[in-house]
Amino acid sequence: MKPSLAPCISKVERAKEHRDSLKQYVANTFAIESNRPRCGIKFERETKQHVVFINYMPNLVGFLERCSIIYGDAVINLRSSLDRLAFQLALLNTSGKIRDESSIQFPICDTVQSFDGAKGRWLKEIGMKHITIIESFQGYHTLDENVSLGDYFHPLSMLRDLTVIDKHRLPIRLAIPTSGMEAPHPLTMQILLKAFASQIVNVSGVYQSNPLQFPAAELGAEVMRAELPLGASEFDVDMAGYIAPMIAIEGDRSAVASLDKIASVVVKVIREFEPDF
């Protein structure tokens, strides 16, 4: 068997097909107005605050379950591409005479100690030069990526964790975040700006921002609140805007964008070995 990176790339390409399918499914679902969560505004006389909350929530349980299945298929293919890479590296190092095929795996570890243990189990038939490259992508190294999706996360560590969840436990939990809104009412924009401004605090002469926390979309969920200047409307608003048509993982982190970031690092790993094939 001649070593080749083609089997690794084919898995990445299949993951991209799942990713595109997921994006299209989300777009098609939310193209139907009755599938769009909607917000209203109510005025609380006790607190003198305007509250943006979800006053219409369609039943999207089945939609989220299907999104989770498609998302899981994508991450499984990306994880498989790395394991295939390890196998091809073993073929290269042993001239096609691998002794124990079942023990070969691409490790993803969060500590030096765990990598040392994994190296002895899964990389025994891979050359030291290639082991060094694999080590450079482990979870205890910060990867310099251009895509920012909230708090930093290591793409390969997330890939490993998502794979474990999807293969051995439960469907990957996805949600509809409330951090984005479309067709907002003018009063909604006033509340949003005031809510953001209220998060900026002066600490020892330095202005710091405490990011707003947005809940997952559920009927009655409070999206944000703020006390507006005197003269602002005290009437309730039934149609304050639609929740943006997207799905998220880990709070309000875009599921599709996170998948793209993971895939870009997987491709980067594979390309590191191209000169030797």
Amino acid, res. 35 = N
Q: Is 228 within the bounds of a domain?
A: yes
Residues contacting residue 198 through CB under 8 Å, at least 6 positions apart: 226
The pLDDT of residue 211: 73
Q: Is 1 within the bounds of a domain?
A: no
The pLDDT of residue 207: 52
Q: Is 60 within the bounds of a domain?
A: yes
Q: Is 177 within the bounds of a domain?
A: yes
The pLDDT of residue 14: 98
DSSP calls for the chain: ----SHHHHHHHHHHHHHHHHHHHHHHHHHTSGGGS-EEEEEEETTTTEEEEEEEE----HHHHHHHHHHHHHHHHHHHHHHHHHHHHHHHHHHTT--S-GGG------SSHHHHHHHHHHH-TTS-HHHHHHHHTTSTTS----S---SS---HHHHHHHHHHHHHHSSPPP-B-BSS-EES--HHHHHHHHHHHHHTEEEETTEEEE-PPP-PBP-TT-EEEEEPPPTTS--S-EEEEEEEPS--EETTTEEHHHHHHHHHHHHHHHHHHTGGG-
**Structural domain boundaries enclosing 79:** 6-276
Handedness of CA 197, 39, 223, 216 (dihedral sign): negative
Q: Is 165 within the bounds of a domain?
A: yes
The pLDDT of residue 230: 76
Q: Phi first, then psi: give them for residue 205, nearest 5 degrees.
A: 85, 0
Q: Is 123 within the bounds of a domain?
A: yes
The pLDDT of residue 220: 97
Q: Is 62 within the bounds of a domain?
A: yes
Polymer length of the chain:
277
Q: Is 63 within the bounds of a domain?
A: yes
Q: CA 72, CA 66: separation in Å to the nearest integer?
A: 10
Amino acid, res. 246 = M
Instruction: Show pLDDT as tens, one digit a residue, over the chain (277 residues).
Output: 799 999 999 999 999 999 999 999 999 999 999 999 999 999 999 999 999 999 999 999 999 999 999 999 999 999 999 999 999 999 999 999 999 999 999 999 999 999 999 999 999 999 999 999 999 999 999 987 666 677 889 999 999 999 999 987 778 999 999 999 999 999 999 999 888 887 765 545 555 556 778 899 999 999 999 999 877 777 899 999 999 999 999 778 999 999 999 999 999 999 999 999 9
Least Cα distance to 180 among 260, 256, 247 occurs for 247
Least Cα distance to 141 among 164, 115, 119, 118 occurs for 115
The pLDDT of residue 84: 98
Q: CA 270, CA 277: separation in Å to the nearest integer?
A: 11
State the total domains in the chain: 1
The pLDDT of residue 208: 56
The pLDDT of residue 149: 73
With 0-12 / 13-18 / 19 or more C-beta atoms within 10 angstroms meaning exposed / middle / buried, residue 54 is buried
